[in-house]
Amino acid sequence: MFLSPAILALIMVSAVISLMLVLAGGFSIQLLRLWDINSGSELQLNLERRTYLISTLLAWAFASELVSLMLFIYNAESMSGQFVGAMCATGVLNVNEWGWPTLFLKIAIFFSGTIWLALNYLDNKGFDYPLVRIKYFLLLLIIPMVFTEFYTQTRYFLEMDPDVITSCCGSLFSVEAKGVAAEVSSLSPRDALIAMYGTGLLTILTGTWYLFKKTAGLLFSLSGIAAFIAALMSIISYISLYIYEHPHHHCPFCILKSGHDYAGYSLYIPLFLATALALAAGSISLWRKIPSLNDSVEIYAPKLVYAALIFFNLFYALATWWVWQSNLTMESIWQ
């Protein structure tokens, strides 16, 4: 195991978050059993007061998960020089079997936490807390992911072996390799661009439709998820080639390096923010027919949709710009 301030911070953050969710989970079970908004009992009043405390704890927990995700990627990138064969974060994640599951779990928790925080914010705007059971049931579904992430991350760091010769992006993100990464890398530029700009256009259209008609919020969220996946695939199979100015370099992590002007941050940050905002908008738009929430949905859902559209458009503008300004020249993408 490597001991560094970043690793110790990541383990400590995950441990604290897990502890917070133990408390939140116990409260969630109690609330689901005993909540009665029509009751004026002391128990009900205590439950209502404690929801604000738990909500504050969870807001800090999910915000910490976002920091943890960014620190995890940064740490993997910074450790690339400590393992034989590792040239970037890909090699560090390949040191053992726990690296990639930890990263995927952190991403899933980030998006799940965004949805929970959006529902919690909306629910607190209703005088009768109509979503209280729904949001705490959802929390019970998120908690196992958090504990699993804490377990996989701990195993990942504990089982790091400096004597292991790891494989890096050249072998994983290669058209000659096998696996999902290789399949994405071998995706034709034409298909990648059709998927990215097609899902992007669908997301922009459904978002614009919602702004004018106040309907299809769920469709906007689903199209945002599709746009997120298609964008990641396009970054690997097509956009990264122009950033590296190399026709066979498909790594999604090397673009985070200073040697490539930190291009990855200009793509990933707006993409992740746009997707999170789209999920938040869709999750609260579902409840516009509840009388106590109607006004709040009418106010906040359009704001979230508008913000999501800004970041989606920013991502597509930057992705297009990185390709356009590159010195790499390839054959027509339509051949």
Mean pLDDT, contiguous 10-residue spans, the chain (335 residues): 80 93 94 91 91 91 91 88 81 90 96 96 93 96 96 93 76 68 80 94 97 94 97 93 87 87 93 97 95 96 97 97 88 52
Tokens of 87: 């040239």
The pLDDT of residue 250 is 85
In this prediction the pTM is 0.93
Contact assessment for residue 1 and residue 158, using Cβ atoms and an 8 Å cutoff = yes
> Rounded CA gap, 230 and 233, in Å?
5
Identify the pLDDT of residue 334: 46
Q: Which residue has the tokens 């992705």?
A: 319
Instruction: Give the pLDDT of residue 183.
Output: 78
CA separation for the pair 123, 117 (Å, rounded):
10
Query: What whole-number distance in Å separates Cα of residue 159 and Cα of residue 274?
Result: 35
Residue 261: left (phi > 0), alpha (psi -120 to 50), or beta? Answer: left
In the prediction, which pLDDT does 168 show? 74
Would you state the pLDDT for residue 170? Answer: 67
Quote the CA–CA distance of 283 and 33 in Å, as a whole number.
24
